[in-house]
Structure 1
Amino acid sequence: MKLTHRTAALALALSLPLGLAACGSSDDTDTGSTTSSSTTSAPAPSESPSASADDMSAKPFGAGCAQVPTTGAGSFDGMMTAPVATAASANPLLKTLVTAVGEAGLVDTLNTAPALTVFAPIDSAFAALPKATMDAAMADPKGLLTKVLTNHVIEGKIAPDKIAGEHKTLGGGTITVSGSGEDFKVGDASVICGNVQTANATVYIVDKVLLPAM
């Protein structure tokens, strides 16, 4: 009996350290898995730079954007809510263009199109044309004037990162856009304010009239 009691006591003494070691090992494992899981789920902040970059790419760009009103229907926010011909009519940089579009009877055509890209010449671009050219166009609104105006319009809303290249216009001609980032030319005209959004169009304001091949 004494031998049996001693053997049992010895077995109990040996089992205690093993049990404690097993408990310690289980605690260590839990701590490690907690640390690992918190490390894995932590890096959410990396999404913010990409969201910020997307916001920046959606904004108008170019030195000429400073001339656009900051409030009202002709501002960037105001133009965004109206179809393109209506939006342009509220912008003080585009008075001659708007008059020409009205003379050619293109207001409804532009306003009802589902998606367009428009290169919109500022008033000084029309003023730089030879008087004879401007007079001839205004005297033939359904012919020459329409051909000139539709040479500034492309089907589809084209973002700045896709705008470079050759594009067929609604007038049947082809225009070539070169450049990248925030620096673009359309033929020899410069984009002075790009990526202006209206309800149905992306507008690039340019400093020259894009005359079609005659």
Structure 2
Amino acid sequence: MRITRVSRVRRIAIAVVAAATLPLGLAACSSDDDSADQNESGAENAPEEETDGAEDGANAGTEEGDGMADGGASRAGEPFGPACSAVPADGAGSFDGMAQDPVATAAGNNPELATLVAAVEAAGLGDTLNSTADLTVFAPVNDAFAGIPQDDLDALLADQGALTDVLTYHVVGQRLAPEDLAAGTFETLQGTTVTVAGEGESWTVNDASVVCGNVQTANATVYLIDGVLMP
């Protein structure tokens, strides 16, 4: 009888212990399941966030590259040379203003080319220069003409044939960008050739130097030079 009572007590104790430990086991399983779910969720979300970040970075790089490319292209087309600072900043004689007019008209609006324009008018070449497409003009600035003795200059201006030869010797019948100048020799409208040498933003035409280059007009590219070219 005593043995039966002891066995019953032992079974009750075992049952109580099992009942007490069961919630702990369930809680542990639940915790493990939650952790697994969280790990799986984190593993799924992490690559998407990293991918989004990589895509954003790539897009930002592309936009930055586009901006730099645009800026490089804009700077490549600008006039260059020490005398460019003497060109008016605005108005018809500025770079923007000259780009709107044909070359003889554009030169007439630029005070640095006043003597050249007077010579073009004396030779009657204004309409021809304005109406001809795709020219390059090597345009002597005022100081270039100042280097010619006054008597010789007056005699040249009075001789329309000789003046026409000199002026058309400054004009090439194609539009030359700075990178085209490296070709070296170009036929002029006068019929003989000029020789261009240099690189980058430093160029000579025969014995004259380009002091402001790549100036655009509606029908010509103009290179201001510090000497008068003689055929």
Query: Is TM more than 0.5 here?
Result: yes
**Counterparts of residues 12-27 of structure 1 (less than 5 Å):** 26-27=44-45
Taking the aligned partners of 1:182 and 1:91, their CA distance within structure 2 comes to 21
Is 2:70 aligned against 1:51?
yes
Please state whether the residue corresponding to 1:163 is helix, strand or coil.
helix
2:163 maps to amino acid: L
**Counterparts of residues 35-74 of structure 1 (less than 5 Å):** 35-43=53-61, 44-74=63-93
2:105 maps to amino acid: T
Is 2:158 aligned against 1:139?
yes
Aligned to 2:16: none
Aligned to 2:178: 160
Aligned to 1:129: 148
1:156 maps to amino acid: Q
1:107 to partner: Cα distance? 0.6
1:50 to partner: Cα distance? 2.2
Summarize the Cα distance change of 1:148–1:45 in structure 2 as closer, same or farther, 3 Å threshold.
Answer: same
1:37 to partner: Cα distance? 3.4
Q: Which runs of 5+ in 2 are unaligned?
A: 1-34
The answer to which of 24-33 and 124-133 deviates more is: 24-33
Is 2:101 aligned against 1:82?
yes
The answer to which of 173-182 and 28-37 deviates more is: 28-37
Deviation string for 1:183-207 (max 9, x for gaps)?
1111110111111111111111111
Q: Which runs of 5+ in 1 are unaligned?
A: 1-16
**Counterparts of residues 28-39 of structure 1 (less than 5 Å):** 30-31=48-49, 33-39=51-57
Summarize the Cα distance change of 1:162–1:25 in structure 2 as closer, same or farther, 3 Å threshold.
Answer: same
Taking the aligned partners of 1:40 and 1:161, their CA distance within structure 2 comes to 33
Taking the aligned partners of 2:77 and 2:47, their CA distance within structure 1 comes to 48
Taking the aligned partners of 1:123 and 1:68, their CA distance within structure 2 comes to 13
1:117 maps to amino acid: T
1:78 to partner: Cα distance? 1.6
The answer to which of 144-153 and 122-131 deviates more is: 122-131
1:102 to partner: Cα distance? 0.9
The answer to which of 46-55 and 175-184 deviates more is: 46-55
Taking the aligned partners of 2:88 and 2:60, their CA distance within structure 1 comes to 43
1:24 to partner: Cα distance? 6.4
More helix per residue: 1 or 2? Answer: 2
1:27 to partner: Cα distance? 4.2
Aligned to 1:207: 226
Q: Quick check: which has more Rg, 1 or 2?
A: 2
Summarize the Cα distance change of 1:28–1:72 in structure 2 as closer, same or farther, 3 Å threshold.
Answer: closer
1:39 to partner: Cα distance? 4.1
The answer to which of 124-133 and 20-29 deviates more is: 20-29
Q: Which one of the candidate residues 198, 212, 215 is aligned to 1:196?
A: 215
TM-score w.r.t. the length of structure 1 is: 0.80
TM-score w.r.t. the length of structure 2 is: 0.75
Taking the aligned partners of 1:205 and 1:170, their CA distance within structure 2 comes to 18
Give aligned-pair identity as a percent: 48
